[in-house]
Structure 1
Amino acid sequence: MGIINRIARRLAAALLLAAALQPAAQAADSAPQRRSISANGIELSYLEAGQGAGTPVVLLHGYTETSHMWVPLMKRLGERRVVLAPDLPGAGGSAIPAGGYDKKTLAQDIHAMVRALGYRKVRLVGHDIGLMVAYAYAAQYPDEVENITLMDAFLPGVGDWQKVWLLRDKWHFNFYGDTPEQLVQGRERIYFEHFWNDFAADPAHAMPEADRRLYAAAYARPGRMRAGFEYFHAFPRDAEDFAGFAKTPLAMPMLVVTGEKASGTFLIDQARLVATNVQGVVIRNAGHWLMEEAPADTMAALTQFVDAPSPQ
């Protein structure tokens, strides 16, 4: 009986240890994983997390950032669904195409990635340049998008788009080519500080220092700054494309999240020119960098909308 009791105690201890370790293992499993896939002739790098029967959500980053910006949100959304956060072509770990930086083409690249991964319907979230890609995706494939979120920037070619707050110093729209690239080489962080600081409500509480170092290093890699400049160089083409898209308003639910000290209600008003079912949320005391300046309020709004039941 003594031996049997010792074995029973050891077995019970092992079971307790396994139970204690299970949350840690689950946390490790939920951490976003870096992957890559060839889609539309381009090698795309992306983060993947989550599981569940919910429709996958695709998160699209903006300029001066990469898919890294979405890591905190991925952990929350991944409780019900697969979460995908690609690096846009030209950014992060994705390949640098020779052309195709207009948002219509970038959306086609992301759509090809989604289909290559075996998904059809998705939910979309885009910030800054990413919101333009998200809108172009929904406009081209409306039957494949259950809902869409646009986060603080603007839609080229829609309404009085040249008067948006972010364009008060739009010199960088025309800052591309050999000379700008040479001027910025080795000074990428100095250039990005303009965006991170001037587009924030409070520069001291905007982009964290670790992220500033990470993004500056990512864009300092060969060819990355030139690709980033091309996102802006393509705006005249985007304006033409978006004006055409707007003629057929989107019907799926749309959430617009903006910073009070940045886009304010401008993007919400634009969205109502291109979609029929728009909700608007203005995050108080926040600037352009919503995920960094107001993470709690921003992620609460995004999670509630993305996780909402599918429209019947």
Structure 2
Amino acid sequence: MGHAAETLGSVRTRDMRFAYTRVGQGTPILLLHGWPQTSFAWRKIMPLLCNEHDVIAPDLPGFGYSSKPDSGFDKKTVSARLREFVQSLGLSRIAIAGHDLGGHVAFAYAAQWPDEVSHLVFIESSLPAFGQEAGMDVARGGSWHFGFNMAGDISEELVRGREFLFVDHFMRREKVGLFDANAVGSSEIEHYAQALARPGALRSSFSYYRTIPIDREDNRAWGQTPLQMPVLAVGADWGYGDASSRTIRQVASNVEDVLIERCGHYPPEERPHELAAAIKQFLGRSRTAGG
């Protein structure tokens, strides 16, 4: 990553091995990737933030080189495991940015331990109980993959051996894909496909969806106490649009909005400079204001 020293590491927590990338110095920010990706999704963002921040990007439980546990993919459990990871690095209070499913985990973390989260960046994401149900309803234009991913063993059997086709479809599809189909190359798609082909990876990735009914109840309970820390809602005009903002405003009191233009559902890879600038401005502005 150029001028800053990058650490590729792994740590053991109570029941997990976390693989992660870390670079930079300054106030810490934890970057949580979405589905069906890994921490590799942040490769263009990390060098843009590292001059001012200690940037940490783990593979979420079940993804990449992190452990593939048998259970515990509800976001309450995933966020608790991530908190142990953060503490293992000697950190206590962090900013968190979550994209897609990473936004679900980031919200769960911030809702349970609000004093330990200085800022939340909610990128092209939604939440069960607060708007995601519309995105799951194929009769009203929602995506079929929610039901497919939740279907059980058949999901894994249909995708096994076709991981590249599967990832390539989601990243290049017309609706909620990339704005520019060439923004992510075939070698990068192959990186994600190989990660999904590892033993346990498909099961783990689909389990993030199979726990949505649990997440819905947890979110309803957490949503009774709106988040107070500064929140930046990031949407893309060819992705979720303003849906990320509409979602997070239902559960947070101090929200700013950014809409990235000429961008699909994957801003960290398609518009990294715009996203990094928005994150830096947000962290700097709210910190100056005493946030």
Q: Does 1:131 align with 2:103?
A: yes
Displacement of 1:81 in angstroms is 2.7
TM-score, normalised on structure 2? 0.91
User: Does 2:24 correspond to 1:50?
Assistant: yes
Write the deviation string for residues 116-171 of structure 1: whole angstroms up to 9, x where unpaired. 1111100000001101100000000000111000000211111x432238961234
2:188 paired with 1:216: no
1:33 aligns with 2:23: no
The range that moved more, 89-98 or 186-195, is 186-195
Q: Does 1:263 align with 2:237?
A: no
Q: Which residue of 2 aligns with 1:306?
A: 283
Task: Pick from 211, 218, 225 the counterpart of residue 241 of structure 1.
Answer: 218
The TM-score with structure 1 as length reference comes to 0.85
Pair 275,172 (structure 1): closer, same or farther in 2 beyond 3 Å: closer
Q: Name the % identity.
A: 36
The aligned counterpart of 1:73 is: 45
Q: Deviations over 1:166-194 (max 9, x none)?
A: 96123443434322212211101111222
Distance in 2 between residues matched to 1:37 and 1:173, nearest whole Å: 34
What's the CA shift for 1:203? 5.2
2:132 is aligned to 161
Structure 1 spans left out of the alignment, 5+ residues: 1-25
Q: CA deviation at 1:90?
A: 0.5
1:185 equivalent in alignment to 2:160:
yes
Runs of 4+ aligned structure 1 residues displaced above 6 Å come to none
Asked if structure 2 preserves the Cα contact closer than 8 Å seen for 1:32 and 1:74, the reply is: no
Does the CA contact (< 8 Å) of 2:18 and 2:61 recur in 1? Answer: yes
Counterpart of 1:103 (choices 60, 65, 75) is 75
Q: Which has the higher helix share?
A: 1
Conserved in 1, the CA contact under 8 Å of 2:97 and 2:121?
Answer: yes
C-alpha displacement at 1:64, in angstroms?
1.4
Q: What are the residue-to-residue correspondences of 1:288-307 with 2, within 5 Å?
A: 288-307=265-284
Residue 32 of structure 1, CA deviation: 2.7
Q: Which one-letter code corresponds to 1:209 in the other structure? A: S
In structure 2, runs of 5+ residues without a counterpart are none
The alpha-carbon distance between structure 1 residues 47 and 188, as it changes in their structure 2 partners (threshold 3 A), is same
Look up the match of 1:150: 122
Q: Which residue of 1 aligns with 2:254?
A: 277
* SS state at 1:204 partner: coil
CA contact (8 A) 2:236 2:264 kept: yes
User: Aligned residue pairs: how many?
Assistant: 283
